[in-house]
Amino acid sequence: MYQNIYCTRQHSISGSYYTTPLRCARTCKQFPCEYFSEEQLQEYISQGWIIEIFTGFKTRRERMYLFRKNDGTIEEAPDSFDHQNPGWDDFKEVEEVLFVSKVLIPQIKLVPKPAQSTKQSKPARPEKEEKADKTEAKEKTTRKK
């Protein structure tokens, strides 16, 4: 896990003894690349080093016919279906023929998990309470004198 990587795309060495390849990959625009195997990526995903981000939909043009049957189910039309000469005698249980020409495919990108902030968040007390506590302590010390 702790090793230098020679990047064949950028023609440079990234990584050092103190950093993992994934920490170096945070700034790389080419990530994920062929350096990481499928097993390594799955392991890093399971450990939480890599997260999956939805980037949008990709549109593909695809001609497809679907049959909506009388019972409400939808099936893909067989390859022998001809939309110009359908032969409705064979399709008595078909209620509608649906024509689909656009398919939306979700695009997911693998991204290294962002670095955590170095500041550890403590449950902070409001400043007013701290000031009130200090003034009370001063009043007690002055009363004792």
Q: What is the pLDDT of residue 137?
A: 63
DSSP letter at 44 equals H
Whether 59 and 18 map to the same domain: the answer is no
88 belongs to a structural domain: yes
Query: Rounded CA gap, 38 and 80, in Å?
Result: 39
Same domain, 21 and 64: no
Residue 139, domain member (yes or no)? no
**CA angle, 48 then 110 then 102, to 5°:** 135
Prior bond of 21 cis (ω within 30°):
no
CA distance 53 to 106: 11
Instruction: Specify whether 94 is located in the same domain as 54.
Output: yes
Q: Where are the alpha helices (DSSP H) in the chain?
A: 21-25, 38-47, 127-144
The span from the CA of 12 to the CA of 18, in Å, is 18
Considering the domain boundaries, does residue 102 fall inside one? yes
Query: Is 124 within a domain?
Result: no
Beta bridge partners of 84: none
Query: Is the previous residue joined to 112 through a cis bond, with omega within 30 degrees of 0?
Result: no
Do 79 and 31 share a domain, yes or no? no
Q: What is the CA radius of gyration of the chain?
A: 31
Residue 82 or 24, more confident: 82
Which of 53-57, 77-81, 104-108, 120-124 has the weakest average pLDDT?
A: 120-124
Question: In terms of residue numbers, what domain contains 95?
Answer: 50-113
Determine contact, residues 4/21, Cβ cutoff 8 Å: no
pLDDT, tens digit, 9 for 90 and up, residues 66-102: 999 999 899 988 888 888 887 777 778 888 888 888 8
Domain-located, residue 129: no
Residue 13 lies in a domain: yes
Q: How many domains does the chain have?
A: 2
Is 142 within the bounds of a domain?
no
What's the predicted TM-score (pTM) here?
A: 0.42
The whole-number pLDDT of residue 68 equals: 92
Residue 17: band (very low, low, confident or very high) from pLDDT cuts 50, 70, 90? very low
Helix (H) or strand (E) holding 104: strand 94-112
H or E element, residue 115? none
